[in-house]
Amino acid sequence: MRKGMIVGVVSLCLLSFLAGGGLAQQAVKEVRIGVAGPMKAVFGRDHWRGASIAQEEINKAGGVTLGGAKVPIKLIRVDTNEIASVSDAVVAVERAADEVHFFMGTQRSESALAMQDVAMKYKKIFMLCGAVHPDLLARVAKDYDKYKYTFRMTINSIAQGQVLFAHLEDVAKIVKEQMGIAKPKVAILADKLMWADPIVKAVETKAPGMGLEVVGAWRPSATASDVTAELSAIKASGAQIIFQSVSGTMGSVLGKQWGELKIPAALVGGAAIATVKTFWDATGGYGIYSSTMIGIGPAKLTEKTMPFWNAYLKEFDDFPNYVSVTYDAVYVLKEAIERAGTVDPDKVVTELEKTDYKGAYGRIVFYPRDHQFPHDLRFGPGYNTWVINQWRGPGKVVVVWPYEWEGVKYEGSEKYLLPPWVVDYWKKKK
């Protein structure tokens, strides 16, 4: 064959490849999923674990049905280093874009917004399993054609705020009943990061209507190694409740120092890192009675929750954290691909929008295109509620919310317990 003919054929194939969407239009021998996250941190590790468990189960069962054949799932590790660097995260996704059909993962919203733009440029479906800022899905409403490839497998920070407010209201009632305090005082302690901003603002706005007095908001770094100054100020403020909204390693520091100093305020709300068993060791056991939320706990959210929880605990001697989100994300994606009969992103988007899946993490349904946050995880009774866990001892957490919330109470949940030293302190103050 002449050289000119070879060049012409190669050029024609290349044009056909580019016009047809690249990877999505080639003969698919495996479904390649890029698992993106800070792999040197617990969050990235858990994304990888969750996806790997699902991959192993699906491949063992034959793989993904595509074009009348079964093809395996292949995972590509994408270390974003996103907690430390937005630019590192962008580069990591850019480098992996030609290698994968889909992305899932993320943790830090600031980085996820930048990563999202890269994924959208390449028309890669991006399933958010950790970053929760509303803007990530508000973009879908503003520019659907560009951002429609984004879906979130966890509730956004606004919905998280609703969970935390409901839990806060439960704890406030217990404080009023058991300690005889008519108007409990609340201190807010949250990451100095954008994802927590809507939650802090909402607490400051809504707490008075709940019969609570906000005494102040403290915003240390998500990676702070000492929060004794904040805790001392909170104790001096006379707060009976500390409302935490924490996503980084500071969560372990807070749990340890709060317990060591016997701060006379219940530590409620959400600390992502406090869900894993290493939190107990990191706090030296002082984190007992602290509460945290991550969306899964030892209660029957669906038929799949407790089998997944127990199997994970047995294999890793740990509680599933973001593991369950990414685990379910692989299954949701698998079902959408099979319904679409292709890995073509536009066709898979159409099928993802139809998702109604009951996973370990709860029911997965995405908000429709005309919603304020299209493709966000639907929150509320009958859908995904998340849960809040409370530490009760070494290796033991229990679900304490929802506890009879709007008709929702999961089998295995228990009523929240106030730390004994908090009750004793305020009884002596009377």
Q: Give tens-digit pLDDT for 28-41.
A: 899 999 999 999 98
CATH architecture, domain defined by 3-153+304-365: 3-Layer(aba) Sandwich (3.40)
pLDDT at 12: 38
180: enclosing H helix or E strand: none
Structure tokens at 282: 């990191």
- What rounded mean pLDDT belongs to the chain? 90
11 has a pLDDT exceeding 70: no
- Rounded Cα distance, 119 and 105, in Å: 12
Residue-wise pLDDT for 143-192, tens only, equals: 999 999 999 999 998 898 889 889 999 999 999 999 999 999 999 999 88
- Given pLDDT bands bounded at 50, 70 and 90, which one contains residue 17? very low
Cα 294-153-383 angle, rounded to 5 deg? 80
User: Fold identical between 3-153+304-365 and 158-297+386-429?
Assistant: yes
Cα 322-323-324 angle, rounded to 5 deg? 90
Domain regions of the chain by residue span: 3-153+304-365, 158-297+386-429
The CATH superfamily of 158-297+386-429 is: Response regulator (3.40.50.2300)
- Given pLDDT bands bounded at 50, 70 and 90, which one contains residue 13? very low
- Rounded Cα distance, 133 and 106, in Å: 12
Cα 364-376-252 angle, rounded to 5 deg? 85
pLDDT at 161: 82
- Rounded Cα distance, 300 and 308, in Å: 11
Straight-line distance from the first to the last Cα atom of the chain, in angstroms, rounded to the nearest whole number = 97
Pairing of strands 356-359, 396-401: unpaired
Instruction: Tell me the residue type at 9.
Output: V
